[in-house]
Amino acid sequence: MKTIILLSKDIVLFTGLNTLANQKQTSIYNALTIKKVIKHASDPDTIGIIIDLHHLHDEDFFKNLDKIRHHFNGPIIILTKVFDAHSAKKMFKIKASVCLTSYNPDLILAQLISLIWLNENPRKIVENQEDIHDYLLSEHKKINLDLRQYPPKLNGKILNLTSKEFKLLKFLFENQNHVLSREQLLDGVWEYEDEYNTTRIVDMHISNLRDKIEADPANPQLIKTVRGLGYMLKLPNQ
C-alpha cells in the first residue's frame, strides 16, 4: 500500500490524515523521530513526507532534511505554527516542497496529492509545449522565436540572451497565459541559489528580456505586467 510518512506529535492531525488517507487506499506511518523518517524515506511505497516543526528543534530539522533528500525525491510538506520567511527560504534551499501554517488535514492531504501528481508526471506539462513559437505583433508582422537550443533565434537570427534570460524566457513560455509571482519566478529560474536574490533581480531580467524580444519594450505585447501580482507571458493576436 502507498504510504505517507508523518512526523508529528499531534494526535488530532494524525487521526484526521489517517482517516482521509484510508479513503484513498493510502496509509499514514507516524514516525516519532526524524531518524525513522530518514530510515523509511527510501521505502518503495513512500509517496510523500509531512514534517510538523512544532515539536522539532530547528537545527535538527535543517541538518536532517538534506539527509532525507538523499533517499527521497518526492514531495515534502513542512508544517509550522508561525511562518518565518528566513526559515522558509532555508527550507526551500534544501528542497522542501511546501511550507504550510494550516493544520487542516483535508487541506494538507489535498496539497500533498497535487504535489505527488506533479512529481509523477514531470514531463507531461513540458511535452505539451512547443519550443518554436510564432506570434503576430500586427496583421502584417509575424515573429518566430526558436527556443530549441541555446542561444535561441528570433526570426532566424541568434538572440543575444544570457543563460538566465534564456532560462527565464523558457519558463515563461512553459507557463504562458498564467500569472507568475516574482517569488515563483525566483524559485523556478534561480531556485533560490543565491542568498542575496531578491524580487528586484526578476524585474531587472524581465526588463532586459523586453529590450531584446519586444518590438516596443515600453509597451510590451508579449511579457505583460499584472499589477500587484507579477508577470504573464501572453502571445498577442492568438
> Can you tell me the distance from the alpha carbon of 5 to that of 8, in angstroms, rounded to the nearest whole number?
10
Name the residue among 49, 47, 25, 53 with its Cα closest to residue 38: 49
β 132-136/46-52 pair status: unpaired
> Can you tell me the distance from the alpha carbon of 190 to that of 105, in angstroms, rounded to the nearest whole number?
32
| Class of domain 145-233 as given by CATH | mainly alpha
Domain boundaries, the chain: 3-120, 145-233
C-alpha dihedral (18, 2, 89, 121), degrees to nearest 10: -130
Are residues 92 and 65 in contact, defined by beta-carbon separation less than 8 angstroms?
no
pLDDT in tens, the chain (238 residues): 899 999 998 999 999 999 999 998 999 999 988 889 999 998 999 999 999 988 776 666 777 878 888 888 889 999 988 877 777 787 787 788 888 988 999 999 999 999 888 877 755 444 444 566 665 554 555 667 777 777 777 777 787 888 888 889 888 888 888 999 998 998 888 876 554 567 788 999 999 999 988 888 999 988 999 998 999 998 765 5
CATH fit for domain 3-120, picks 3.40.50.2300, 3.90.550.10, 3.40.228.10, 3.40.30.10: 3.40.50.2300
